[in-house]
Amino acid sequence: MIGKEIRLERCMDRNTGRAVIVPMDHGMTLGQIEGLRDMTRVISEVSEGGANAIVLHKGMVTAGHRRHGRDIGLIVHLSASTALNPDPNDKVLVCTVEEAIALGADAVSIQINLGSPNESRMLEAAGQISRDCTRWGMPLLIMAYARGQGIDGSSPAAVSHCVRAAEELGADLIKVNYPNDPVAFRRIVEACSVPVLVAGGEKGGDEAAIAMVREAVGAGGAGVCMGRNAFQREDTAAFVGRVCEAVHEEPR
């Protein structure tokens, strides 16, 4: 669909076909955490660093609209839960595709947690959102994780299942955990028809994060969705710039 193609180009690098996306939806889950207290400032820093797109909940779009500086793609997140919930993995819809369009979104995203007690409801919601995205020509990013009792969410088997489930649901972009195995990840990516990005995870060392990104992209990944590992840096713009170099340079 031409509408999806045009909007996707606002969230990815049209030359490399890869993307650096910075999710900033953590306030819903965790509250007023470090790095997300001044949304206008942090979005400016992420944009200055060269990120292709950010992910926000609908209520933060106005707070993050800077009216100046480098443009950046806007992905509106449609699902949510909080860390105060007895089951934080229970994601429910809090926004619609139509609302996202009215807010000027270039894409929408949802999260599904395979293996959680409410997996069925999340899959049903994802199916509904996918239908609406097709209707409106809106790209859909599905953040898919394997989370449940006794599940290793970063194992190649779990990651491959997440990728396939998201693809079957109609995702245009997929975000999953990196399995820390480039050979296994290449097999997973090659078996998928849409771009697969890896999660950035919790804040860790600079060099370890960059090395993970390079390895994932070198194995065929389409980039990274990196939140706290990006916006909680002392110099966010500089770190995001390094991530962009790792994603968009030609893989070795």
Point out the residues that are catalytic: 25, 145, 175
Q: Alpha-carbon distance 176 to 234, whole Å?
A: 26
